[in-house]
Structure 1
Amino acid sequence: MSKDDTTQTVQDNASGDSALIEKLKKHKAANAGINETKLPDTGITASWPKFKPHHVWMKAQRLSKKNPHAVMDNYLPLICKFDGEKMTLEEFKSLIPTDDVLHLTGEVMGDDDEEGNEGNVLH
């Protein structure tokens, strides 16, 4: 580490957060709020934070153990509320129909930009 690198680190720490941390905090603040969608089969409103913290995804992966196909089934009930209520994983798996799960997966993990999806039958 050069003397200039050390000086910059000291200056960043003395003024609070580094430029990187400030940028990330601004991004998080700009993405505050809630997204929601009405599930097509049940008519339930599902909601989730616009800023989805990574630790929730990591928890879903841990719950899935060695089954990568189960990650989304674990993630959705962790990140979403349904008509304002949380559901357990078992409730989610047994009570939410497949059409609603597929719709919700697309909404939560999909791209907000509809442009360029002309050939995608789901859009």
Structure 2
Amino acid sequence: MPEELTGVRAKLKAHKEASAGSRTVKLDESGIECTVLNFINHGAWMRAHRTAKGDNPKAQASFVAEVVRFEGEKLTLTDLTELVPAGDMLQLIGEVFGGKDGGDSEGEPGKALN
């Protein structure tokens, strides 16, 4: 029987469970509907960094390829670099790394869709 988590581990597990599900983002340039998970564990970011071998922009793109679905399909890193417009990619990076609150650093509403 698994050991019951207590303390901070229990809080983190509760947060993960409360954050289950996903949100939909419509890309401004291409109009493609994307699905972004509400909870993305740090392991996905670590895998993206290993793939990128120290290249931060490539790590971001690899992370997006790992955690975003494009109208239900998973795209490869090559697909992203060759087929997705730069504006859409920057929008997705903002969605994935910028959170889901929809506000910017000045407290102004942003483009997040939830």
Same fold (TM over 0.5): yes
**C-alpha RMSD of matched pairs (Å):** 2.2
Deviation of residue 82 (structure 1)? 0.2
1:77-116 equivalence runs, <5 A: 77-111=65-99, 112-114=101-103, 116=106
TM-score by length of 1: 0.78
Picking from 19, 22, 27, the partner of 2:10 is 22
Identify the structure with the greater helix proportion.
1
CA distance in 1, matches of 2:57, 2:90: 13
Runs of 4+ in 1 over 2 A off after TM superposition: 115-118
- Amino acid of the residue matched to residue 21 of structure 2? G
CA distance in 2, matches of 1:105, 1:114: 15
TM-score by length of 2: 0.83
SS at match of 2:25: strand
SS at match of 1:81: strand
Aligned to 2:60: 72
Structure of higher CA gyration radius: 1
What residue ranges of structure 2 are gaps of 5+ in the alignment? none
CA distance in 1, matches of 2:79, 2:26: 18
Q: How many residues align?
A: 108
